[in-house]
Amino acid sequence: MVLAKHLEQRRSVTTQLREHGLRLTRQRKVIADVLQQAGEHLDAPEVLRRARKQLPGLHLATVYRALESLKKLGIIDELDLMHVNGHGHFYEARTSKDHMHFTCQQCRAVFEIQDELFERLKRQIEGRHGFTLRVARLELGGLCARCAVSARENDHPPASA
């Protein structure tokens, strides 16, 4: 099952590249695999690090070029994660259902959120404005439950502090 899904994704990548006059190179294949097998969002240097296990000579510029191609084909998504540190980007393989990202501005933890209302909102926007949506990125920032609690404690510090 896992294998089947994987093969299906692979075929899709090949086909989609072809349709855009692009070649399925070893580099692009490995980079796409790295993202599809990583459950999480990776930045470009991390993609490079992982892909080099298969392709030791791989160059960072190639990673950026591949990410750009895959992004244009809608195979991966690009994220900012509220720029909690630096202005770099993160990448992740696209799945059937879009999800949102919440970044805690205190502890920097990132949470993935799914909500049926998000799908509904997207469909409603498409319908109302006549847009054809290709990407939808909803990034949230604030305090996670844990940090909200400690922030409240700091407002009312215990007598011993």
Partner DNA sequence: TTTCTCTTGCGATCAATTCGCAACTAGATA
Partner DNA sequence: TATCTAGTTGCGAATTGATCGCAAGAGAAA
Q: Which residues make up the interface to its own copies (CB under 8 A)?
A: 78, 80, 82-83, 87, 100, 102, 104-105, 111, 113, 115, 117-118, 120-122, 124-125, 128-145, 148
Assign 156 to helix, strand or coil: coil
Residue 100: exposure state from Cβ atoms within 10 A (0-12, 13-18, ≥19): middle
Q: Which partner, DNA, its own copies, none, binds residue 3 by CB below 5 to 8 Å per kind?
A: none
Closest of 30, 41, 151, 149 to residue 101, by C-alpha: 41
Q: What distance lies between CA 114 and its chain's CA centroid?
A: 14
Q: Rule CB under 7 A: say whether 87 interacts with DNA.
A: yes
Q: Rule CB under 7 A: say whether 35 interacts with DNA.
A: no
- Considering only residues 56 through 85, tell me which ones interact with DNA, judged by CB under 7 A: 57-62, 64-66, 68-69
Tokens linked to 111:
């949470």
The Cα–Cα gap between 115 and 30 comes to 31
CB of 79 to its own copies, least distance (A): 10
Tokens linked to 137:
């990125």
- Considering only residues 109 through 128, tell me which ones interact with DNA, judged by CB under 7 A: none
Q: Which partner, DNA, its own copies, none, binds residue 120 by CB below 5 to 8 Å per kind?
A: its own copies
| Number of C-beta neighbours around residue 65 at 10 A | 14
List of residues contacting DNA (CB under 7 A): 14, 17-18, 21-28, 43-44, 55, 57-62, 64-66, 68-69, 86-89
